[in-house]
Amino acid sequence: MSPDSARRAEKLGYTNVKVYVDGTPEWVKRNHLVLSTQFLKEAWIDKDIPHVLVDVRPAAESEKGFIKGAVTVPAAGIEKAIARFPPKDKKAPIMIYDQKGGADAVKAAKALIAAGYAPVDIVSGGFDAWKAAGFPVQTGMLAENIVYVPKPRPGEIAIEEFAKIAKATPPDTLILDVRNRDEGNAGMIKGAKLVPDEEILDRFAEIPKDKKIVAHCSTGVRAEMAYHKLKEKGYTVQFLNAKVDINDKGEFKLEKP
Amino acid sequence: MLRKCISTFSFAAALMIGSFAGQAAAQEKAAAPAQPPTKPSVAKVCGNCHQPQPGNLRGNFDSVAYKTKSIQVKIDEATEILRFDDNLKIMNVQAPADNPDQPLYGLKKGKEVRIEFTEKDGKKFATLISAKTTIKVAPEKQVKTEDVEKLVAQGPKKGKYMLIDARPLPRFQEGSIPTAINIPFPAFEKMKDKLPADKASLIVYYCAGVT
């Protein structure tokens, strides 16, 4: 979008138009982003988009008033606190605020970026701006535990729930194994039915409509494709978005990617 | 972009109403076979420049399963799954260095793609997949991260620049490079009064990497 915009600006007669081709994906490797308190509220909190909101003020200050959902990680102890953040490969968006959007927020952001976290956002104007905008303020103790749960994809079943069903499948449920025959022959979950993903469109008759279908494969990719095919046909269906290892005894290991 | 959001919502709402109406109709006439809902063939983001063409899909690449030779593509809210074989033509895709035999792993989730397909018995079979090509920007017109860092450190007044985020408003709201303003590309014409009065002043555009 930026090269197109640059071309249009040049057509209007602008003579010094540049394009930062690498854009945000490169920027966030070395720098923080910013967002306004209004955007924090509207684009993240109100929409319930998973993120980590960090209050970096001293705890005594935060407790007088903070943004709902924030965890306390005082800037003074940020280096030691990094181990408490979710693993960086989860790519949790991290929003940081201090009192006024100043040095403490920058210090915390720098420490997190140096540790490989991205994206890290600083809330412009900090808590004062949030309060001034009339947005809701909470008082009391802040959470210390940093929790980040990525939003599941449509149709995804919780990994714990799948494990429960796989150990004892209720009569109204069918586990559909959509891996290929070789994979199935090497071991399947007890009670599961094997219909390789590529055969589903030809084998709907074998898949009961009156049961809840839970599809799995070995990574979640084929299971998701199976989910879409079955959903389109009116099935009640979910899929497991996780790595699955099954041995010849039917014992299984699930791992969230 | 606001307009786009609204239209997305109303589109979703229309789909819901459509499916409810469809259910009701199906109940009334149980004998009639249920009509599958028609899916779009061009994602909205592609529709800025491209018209629907028979035998073509345009959308965002989602995933590939080589074990079943299937591609999953998102077209806005809809998902299409297509089979392929070894004759699939692949264009503008860089295969991963450690996996040259499975080039589609080189496609990132969300990448804009065009797919040519044939259809038989309701099953789509892909014959070609072509990723959107990178728009070339002449080297002298490019700035690097270091350059933007220097400008941002000075601020727009001292650095005499305007940094413009060309992404859609929802992406800008999620977080932007400090000192940037948002002029989404589709809103260029409508917002051109935001550009500096001095035509010789420095304008730097960015988005989420040139795709």
**Does domain B38-131 sit in CATH 2.40.50.320?**
yes
Domain ranges (residues) in chain B: 38-131, 139-206
| Res. B21: pLDDT tops 80 | no
Inter-chain touch A27–B137, beta carbons under 8 Å: no
Q: What is the CATH number of domain B139-206?
A: 3.40.250.10
B63: chain A residues, CB-CB within 8 Å: 221, 224-225
Please answer yes or no on whether B207 and A22 come within 8 Å at the CB atom: no
Architecture of domain A31-132: 3-Layer(aba) Sandwich (3.40)
* C-alpha span between A149 and A152 (Å, rounded): 9
Nearest-CA distance B201 → chain A (Å): 6
Does the distance separating the beta carbons of B145 and A22 come in below 8 Å? Answer: yes
Q: Which pLDDT value is given to residue B27?
A: 41
Instruction: Categorize the per-residue pLDDT at B37 as very low, low, confident or very high, splitting at 50, 70 and 90.
Output: low
Helix, strand, coil shares of chain A, percent, nearest 5, are 40, 20, 40
pLDDT value of position B18: 35
Q: Which residue of A has its CA nearest to B180?
A: A34
Question: Residue A78: helix, strand or coil by DSSP?
Answer: helix
pLDDT score for B152 = 98
Q: Which of B34, B68, B195 sits opposite A9 (nearest CB)?
A: B195
Asked if A33 lies within 8 A of B143 by C-beta distance, the reply is: no
pLDDT band at B46 (very low <50, low <70, confident <90, very high): confident
Q: Do B83 and A12 touch (CB under 8 A)?
A: no
Note the pLDDT tens digit of each residue in B121-173: 889 999 999 998 877 889 999 999 999 999 999 999 999 999 999 998 999 99
- Interface A–B counts its CB contacts (< 8 A) at 176
Distance CA A238, CA A215 (A): 6
- B147 sits in the region (left: phi over 0; alpha: psi -120 to 50; else beta) called alpha
- Per the CB < 8 A criterion, the answer to whether A162 and A170 are in contact is no
Cβ–Cβ < 8 Å for A33, A27: yes
Residues 26-85 of A with CB under 8 A from B: 26-27, 30-35, 39, 42-44, 49
Rounded CA separation A244/B4 (Å) = 39
CA distance B13 to chain A (A): 17
Report, as ranges of residue numbers, the positions in chain A whose pLDDT lies below 50: none
Q: Cα angle vertex B148, ends B145, B149, to 5°?
A: 85
Domain boundaries, chain A: 31-132, 156-255
For the stretch A132-146, pLDDT in tens is 999 999 999 999 999
Q: Indicate if A156-255 has the same CATH topology as A31-132.
A: yes
The Cα–Cα gap between A17 and B191 comes to: 17
- In this predicted model, what pLDDT tens digit does every residue of B54-96 receive, in sequence order? 999 999 999 999 999 999 999 998 899 999 999 999 999 999 9
Residue B121 pLDDT: 86
In the predicted model, is pLDDT for residue B30 greater than 50? no
3-state SS of B151-162 is HHHHHHHHHCEE
Nearest CA-CA partner of A247 in A164, A174, A190: A190
* Closest by Cα among B123, B47, B119, B116 to B87: B116
The reply to whether residue A5 touches residue B166, judged by beta carbons under 8 angstroms, is: yes
CATH of domain A156-255: 3.40.250.10
